[in-house]
Chains A and B, each alone.
Chain A
Amino acid sequence: MRALELKQMRKSYQADIEVLKGIDIVIEPGEFFVLVGPSGCGKSTLLRMIAGLEEISSGELYIGGAYANKLKPSKRELSMVFQNYALFPHMTVEQNIAFGLHVKKLTKVEQSQRCKEAAEMLGLTPYLKRKPRELSGGQRQRVALARAIVTQDPICLMDEPLSNLDAKLRTKMRSEIRQLQRKLGITMIYVTHDQTEAMTMADRMMILNQGEVQQVGKPLDIYNHPANTFVASFIGAPPMNMVNGYIQNGNVHLPCDTTLPQIHHNLTGEFTIGIRPEHLVRATNTDEATLQAIVTNVEMLGTETLINFQLTDKLQWTARWQGQHAIPLGEKVSFAIKTEDLVFFDDQTKQNTFLEGVEVI
């Protein structure tokens, strides 16, 4: 277990183009920390800077309290799992796992002992003599994991390790990695573009966009209180519904002729107003505020149904209802909205008004 601290980490490849614009974060020992963001947001670059594979343009990196900017990758006592696994095709599984152990000054017996342990832990024992090409995708992934844990380094970095697996296997490996991390107590930094992975695995996560930190926090805190419209639309599938509206005389006006009473806020003016799909429930007669719209598409997933509807001429929203609802396309449906479910983002800064003034950890 070892802590990591990043102070104003910046990266630029050319003089005036910054890929990372000052990242500050403290990662606690034994934490499962997820870096998430769309492609090109700089998350992999940040990971590679921590690993020492990319130079740090400016800022400071501390590993276990020690200044680590100039340390070679091998001196940082960390292991790394790559997206394409980076297995050596000409070596057997056993050789792959043990690769790099010889620099750890271990005896041959210790090396093979550790190798066996790691293989055991990941269920690779029957495959030790095989070459990587004779393994399935999931097994290759496990070999890469075994190679990372066999070194017993206190920090493990993972760069989109599951993106080459099919959906079912991904779900399985997700929980396996999480359990492995808990069992070994390593500090994990995990990069992904998949918000589901981030939500399900992270102790804490950091959302990056265009080299800037959007929000850092526990997955549910982020889901419930997204810091800005980017986080709101990035986290959650389907994403949060948003529309421009305004508050006047204590009433919230949506552009679809729906008006709700304002309750716990004391706001006025123009806002980007958001609501999660699961909060757009089917209206009953007793509901005060409703929204009526034409259904354009229905996706029935068994346990839940996703309903797309036309909010305004140009804007579609999605509602998520529990259960199976066969709604004919083109039908007008009423959705109930509660004011407390609405999220108000400043029209200019796109920041969540609820969090303004509240410190974002």
Chain B
Amino acid sequence: MTIGKKILLYLVLILSGFIMFFPIVYAFMISFMQGGEVLQGKLIPENFTLTNYLNAFEKVPLLRYLINSLVVSTVIMLGQLLLCSLAAFAFVFTKFKGKNLLFMLFISTMMIPWEATMVPNFQTIQSLGWLNSFPGLTIPFFAMAFGTFLLRQQFKTIPIELYEASQVSGVSRFKFFLTVVLPISKTSLITLGIYCFLTAWNMYLWPLLVTNDEKVRTVQIGLKQMQTQEIASEWGVVMAGVMLVILPTLLLIFVGQKRLQEGLTRGAIK
């Protein structure tokens, strides 16, 4: 590739990168703007102050929401990892009649949109008295067909001889799961964990439905609250909130990026 071509390529890349990233940069800029600056159509604030950030914490209990979101996302992530890995283990390493049929049925639930099950789920949660509680926010998400499918594919790459070797040496099934299957599948588990966490973090509709108490509300609802609190929204404050909310997401992506890539490309390389 000649130098000219290279320059052109990088220009195109930078341009596309800028277009992709523009909304975030703009939001970041707005989060420092005062009052009318946004409406004047400015791109860069006059001066960078943290007033909006302080306001964000004052107007709504943002810290409370952040902690709630963290708890809910972590619990959903752990629950999903636990249930999905156990289900996948059963689908790979145990023999029972109708295993394939059951798995097909399991997978077919991926085709049912979440919105379709929302009403029955809500009624269940309501009748259990779990409205405005962490169980109501987390437990409906524990079983996930996608996670089970992903882990099943990973577990299937583990040679069956490893399982047989453990059987011959008298190691129990559960111990085999703990000491062999889980450590070998570390990468996939981390990938799935990050995916679950982010999905749970970005959840909006379900927390809105089952909570009306700020003690358990999550951060996405907090943002919406900020926006609608007054007739004329203070965009600067809202965007400051947004920045605070996407921070954990970005952190997680940076930390987990390498793992995520490994996990996603693993099947392709082998």
Contacts and interface: CB of A to CB of B under 8 A. Distances in A.
Interface residues of B, number: 14
A275 interface: no
Contacts of A88: 162, 180, 184
Interface in A304-323: none
Contact of A80 (B162, B165, B184): B165
Interface string A51-90: 1110000000000000000001111001110111010111
A99 B165 CA distance: 10
Contacts of A79: 168-169
A86 B161 contact: yes
Contact of B169 (A89, A90, A103): A103
A74 B170 contact: yes
Interface size class of A (residues with CB under 8 A): 20 to 34
Interface string B158-187: 010110111111110000000010011000
A178 B234 CA distance: 83
A151 B183 CA distance: 24
Contact of A74 (B167, B183, B184): B167
A151 B170 CA distance: 11
For the residues of B in contact with A, the DSSP-based class is: helix
A86 B162 contact: yes
B169 A100 contact: yes
A51 B171 contact: no
Contact of A99 (B169, B183, B184): B169
A99 B161 CA distance: 14
A29 B159 CA distance: 32
B99 to A, nearest CB: 16
Contacts of A75: 170
Contacts of B161: 82-84, 86
Nearest to A53: B164
Given A73-B170, A100-B165, 9 more contacts: A52-B168, A78-B168, A79-B169, A88-B180, A90-B183, A90-B184, A99-B166, A99-B169, A147-B165
Interface of B: 159, 161-162, 164-171, 180, 183-184
8 contacts: A51-B164, A52-B168, A74-B167, A74-B169, A79-B168, A86-B164, A104-B170, A151-B169
